[in-house]
Structure 1
């Protein structure tokens, strides 16, 4: 969703009072920000946001195929734990060196690794699995490819969100909305393939191969788009601001080395910690419920195996709605946003009632409403906190702040993926 003029003005007013803007405004007050012609930069960042979550969505949406091949494995939850923990470990390595490494190298390398990890499933299907069940050596290779995709996610997501943090808030909104769009895209593919293809071995293979093929093509498009972005005047403008700020720092304080670098990093973490706390709570709650609870713990006699597919689609659509709402209105108070993240803990008892409560609460309507609310609140408050966090630091530190927020996000995902094993017992 492209930002309206009113929303752009609101973001601009907010950024004028932020450290990243005020640091440089005195030297750049006469420089006009270039127009984003045809909203091309916005669309590129939207596409990149969709891109770095598409591989994960492809793996998790092909769950019917993997459940058919490996009936004794808890595929959803194993994939989630492996993906998130690998991604988190890699991000913790990246953060201290973010200022000294080239974001474009990390992002291009990550996109290439995404393509490699996505190729594993269709290639293995053709040359080894061939629709046969119980070949658990293939399962272990698939889990390894999920882990490789987690490495790629750390490189790409950290780089893209870090880069967006250096730009106007509308580009962070584009990235965050794009992440939700990837879920909607895969859900649409899942519904179409289930409607068209028979739910037998052949049909499940065709469906899974379609998800991975579309994702591979999308990754190739992301590589092209990303390498175009830096040539756009509006992106060059913000990059020049960062270079100027870095040069000013070098003059005033010298290069960041040793204890000064460590102090700066911890200062950044301290500045964004409450935003990070909110993000951790958001994704701890969300991933401990979605998708494991949705796909394994609730059932419908009416919708049968369509039930989890429609619930996942509903979640993804409302996640996109929530992340797009910040293009219209952004909550001003960060304290209220973090408080709302704490309030989302109420989803635990509410969903628990849908498992063990009165008969009405175990029907399709309450579960569907709660799932959509889970997606809506996940999307909106994620977008608010992600847009605001990098603006609390100076522009030369915005990329590091963005990556730190991604670390908090993945911590929430990792904790949620572990909690998902236990909370419904």
Structure 2
């Protein structure tokens, strides 16, 4: 009898795993599609708001929530003309993006942390695919509307319409498809049996488990507090913070305002952002190669710290180098960002029960987003010494 239940559980654990990986990847795309839309239509913002450093200001107040609203705002409120009032309104909408990103990304990684590492990897890959996809669409629309009247505004509206459709698709997938996949039900049931009230609520909402079903009291009593979890994993948390501090101190503000004029002209910043996004995507799949994945905690810390040598490299390349060297550096930045992000987020939850894995995932995302905010704030330091900054 026991063997039969074990076989059934083993079957449920792996049944629908690949479908879940695909769904997680799409959800990753939807999580940051609006953030990446802001990065890839910065040339439109510079056309409308040339005096307000949009690549830096908007990244300070950012992320996904109201793509439909921002599309209406661009189309109806600005009418292709800038001004401080319109700019403040745009910043307010972008601030809502930040609230939504913290909720969605934290919730998703917390949820996936109690499942298998492959689902986290797929979700993280989806985050990078969003960047690569938006860059590809942006380059295509730029080429298509290069000589069109009011082309910047037209291609920005088309771009945001596509992104809005992807967001709506993700809402449907997460609400109606993801909870019903056998592998997802298996891991959520397992976490609920270990004392996770949040996951139990998900199961009840999906009609998979009744509210009256209790969890093991010993599992509840043995749960680690958030403080203890953070103490045990402070190196992972700090590494994520430092990883995104460096990345966001360069992308996108430095790329749009500090790289000078080159042969690619108005295409230059777009190409740099596209190269970053493409190599970030590659980096999120490289941990699938076993000998490339960094499992050692000290090794991860060393790798994260070594990335800070990129700061003087970017500075001197922007000042003295040509566009080929800059493209190489931004590719390295993207590759290492994607690779180390996946290594940390798939390694950290190992060895914990479902409730601790869920909580640890949320804690790690808090540090990740803290790094993002610190990075976009430090990005302003690149303007020191520049003339006519304000």
CA drift at 1:83: 2.1
Matched, 1:217 2:165: yes
SS in 1 for 2:233: helix
CA drift at 1:364: 1.1
Q: Residues 86-165 of structure 1 correspond to what in structure 2 (within 5 A)? A: 114=65, 117-132=66-81, 134-165=82-113
Instruction: Find the aligned partners of 1:294 and 1:198 in 2 and give their Cα distance.
Output: 21
CA drift at 1:423: 4.1
Q: Which residue of 1 aligns with 2:127?
A: 179
Matched, 1:70 2:19: no
Q: Which residue of 1 aligns with 2:201?
A: none
Q: Which residue of 1 aligns with 2:251?
A: 290
Matched, 1:57 2:46: no
Q: Which residue of 2 aligns with 1:20?
A: none
SS in 1 for 2:348: helix
Matched, 1:366 2:366: no
Question: Segments of 4+ in structure 1 off by > 3 A?
Answer: 27-31, 247-250, 253-256
Contact conserved, 2:40 with 2:135, CA < 8 A, in 1?
yes
**Unaligned stretches of 5+ residues in structure 1:** 1-26, 85-112
**Unaligned stretches of 5+ residues in structure 2:** 197-213, 385-390
SS in 2 for 1:173: helix
Matched, 1:208 2:156: yes
SS in 1 for 2:294: coil
Matched, 1:414 2:373: yes
Picking from 288, 291, 298, the partner of 1:327 is 288
> In the TM superposition, what whole-angstrom CA distance separates every residue of 1:30-72 from its partner, at most 9, and x where no partner exists?
8314334482100000111111111111122111111111111
TM-score, with structure 1 as normaliser? 0.80
Say if 1:351 and 1:410 are closer, same or farther in 2 by CA, change over 3 A.
same
TM-score, with structure 2 as normaliser? 0.87
More deviation in 197-206 or 208-217? 197-206
Q: Which residue of 2 aligns with 1:31?
A: 9
Q: Residues 226-237 of structure 1 correspond to what in structure 2 (within 5 A)? A: 226-227=174-175, 228-237=177-186
CA drift at 1:28: 6.0
Instruction: Find the aligned partners of 1:310 and 1:304 in 2 and give their Cα distance.
Output: 10
Greater RCO, 1 or 2 (C-alpha within 8 Å, sep 6+)? 1
> In the TM superposition, what whole-angstrom CA distance separates every residue of 1:139-180 from its partner, at most 9, and x where no partner exists?
111111101111111111111111110100000000111100
Instruction: Find the aligned partners of 1:76 and 1:170 in 2 and give their Cα distance.
Output: 33
Q: Which residue of 2 aligns with 1:97?
A: none
> In the TM superposition, what whole-angstrom CA distance separates every residue of 1:180-210 from its partner, at most 9, and x where no partner exists?
0000000001100111103676111111112
Instruction: Find the aligned partners of 2:7 and 2:234 in 1 and give their Cα distance.
Output: 31
RMSD, aligned CA: 2.2
More deviation in 194-203 or 302-311? 194-203
More deviation in 198-207 or 328-337? 198-207
Q: Residues 181-196 of structure 1 correspond to what in structure 2 (within 5 A)? A: 181-196=129-144
CA drift at 1:405: 0.6
